[in-house]
Amino acid sequence: MSDLISPQPGIMDIALYEGGAAHVAGRTDAVKLSSNENFAGASDKAREAFARAVHSMHRYPNTDHASLRAAIGDVHKINADQIICGVGSDEIIHFLAQAYVGQGDEVVFTEHGFLMYKISTMAAGGTPVSVKERDRVTDVDAILQACNERTKLVFIANPNNPTGTMVPLAELERLALGLPAQAILVIDGAYAEYVEGYDGGAELATRLPNVFMTRTFSKIYGLGGLRVGWGYGPKAIIDVLNRIRGPFNLSTVALETAEAAVRDQDYVDRCRNDNMRLRTLLAEGLAERGVPSDTSTANFVLARFASPDEAAACDEFLKAEGLIVRRVASYGLPQCLRITVGDEPSCRRVAHVVGQFKIRGKAVV
């Protein structure tokens, strides 16, 4: 290829995102606990809507997503005109960076923050700024110190992935109020539904002109494969993002299935309750075997080992038993493994196999 053909600066510096592993060579019975998916899948109502949508696949989808936005607005008691839907919340994150970030601009996130923040920032030509957490918890004072006149976006996942920790809304409000005037606080609520009584930052995004919230159907709704997410915030920001959104970004099938899913809040409540019980079972099972974790507010547990080597060895040991978890060295946590809360047998098995590793694994590896 000609040397004159080259991408924009920064693009080739982006490290490719690696999703959670899905297979173990030679096994068909592996349990995937590496991508924070809902082990129970989608609700029956969402499945029925998907089946019905098969009959309208030849039709172009609508471009304004009015029906899905109205459903989201009803359920969350927010204005549908201030909602934008995307191909997962990843696309909303991408729109924000494309719209607000350019060369010389900075985007702030925390040291163990979601990798897409960095990727979208670099794709837009901006400079990522990573801020230390305090014992794996977002540190609002450190973030405020890192902000300056070049800061355009601040991304906070709350609860955070992969730490599972969260900060109170009052802390996020303090952050929003302390930001430089040109910066937007983006509260990523991918796991918000797992926290009883938590609105994901919706009320802040309603009240403050510099707060935006992102949400997804990929986690508690069990629709990660369908790719639907949404954002909510000031109308002025929505108007900007809609300029760069592809008119047909969401398929007919995705729109209709997501609408049925969001209207089925009984299912969400059931999944939240199941998750709380099974998460405790998993975390306590690990702790009993000498593997601590921070109290998680999401659908995964960040298991801490004595060293990066021990975490890597335990990952291999689990894999050999058909249990796929997530190494999080790329998130700055090489001594940890992120384990998604699975069904009850999976949680018990993970704890049991980690226990076996603790007793025998060290001698083997």
In the complex, which residues of this chain contact ligand PLP (CB under 6 A)?
A: 36, 88-90, 114, 157, 161, 188, 190, 216, 218-219, 224, 229
Type of residue found at 35 = S
For ligand PLP, which is the closer residue by CB, 61 or 88?
88
Rg of the chain over Cα atoms, rounded to whole angstroms, equals: 21
For ligand PLP, which is the closer residue by CB, 82 or 89?
89
Yes or no: say if 31 and 349 are a contact pair by the CB < 8 Å rule.
yes
Point out the residue whose Cβ comes nearest to ligand PLP. Answer: 88
Give residue 142's Cα distance to chain centre: 22
For ligand PLP, which is the closer residue by CB, 152 or 227?
227
Minimum CB separation from ligand PLP for residue 22, in Å?
Answer: 15
Minimum CB separation from ligand PLP for residue 89, in Å?
Answer: 4
Type of residue found at 275 = N
Helix H segments across 15-160? 44-53, 66-76, 88-100, 115-123, 140-146
Determine how β-strand 106-110 pairs with β-strand 211-216: unpaired
For ligand PLP, which is the closer residue by CB, 190 or 211?
190
Minimum CB separation from ligand PLP for residue 306, in Å?
Answer: 26
Minimum CB separation from ligand PLP for residue 99, in Å?
Answer: 17
Minimum CB separation from ligand PLP for residue 214, in Å?
Answer: 7
Minimum CB separation from ligand PLP for residue 23, in Å?
Answer: 20
Please give the DSSP secondary-structure letter assigned to residue 198.
-
For ligand PLP, which is the closer residue by CB, 177 or 329?
329
Minimum CB separation from ligand PLP for residue 230, in Å?
Answer: 9
For ligand PLP, which is the closer residue by CB, 251 or 356?
251
Minimum CB separation from ligand PLP for residue 161, in Å?
Answer: 4
Beta strand residue intervals within the chain, DSSP E? 31-32, 83-86, 106-110, 127-131, 151-157, 184-188, 211-216, 229-232, 300-304, 323-324, 326-327, 336-340
CB atoms inside a 10 Å sphere around CB 219: 27
For ligand PLP, which is the closer residue by CB, 219 or 349?
219
Minimum CB separation from ligand PLP for residue 290, in Å?
Answer: 27
Looking up tokens 């540190």, which residue turns up?
139
Three-class SS state of 214? strand
Type of residue found at 227 = R
For ligand PLP, which is the closer residue by CB, 156 or 351?
156
Determine how β-strand 336-340 pairs with β-strand 326-327: antiparallel
Closest by CA position to 296, among listed 328, 339, 325? 339
For ligand PLP, which is the closer residue by CB, 126 or 159?
159
Structure tokens at 178: 């302390």
List Cα–Cα distances, 164 to 112, 137, 154, 233, in angstroms: 10, 9, 19, 24
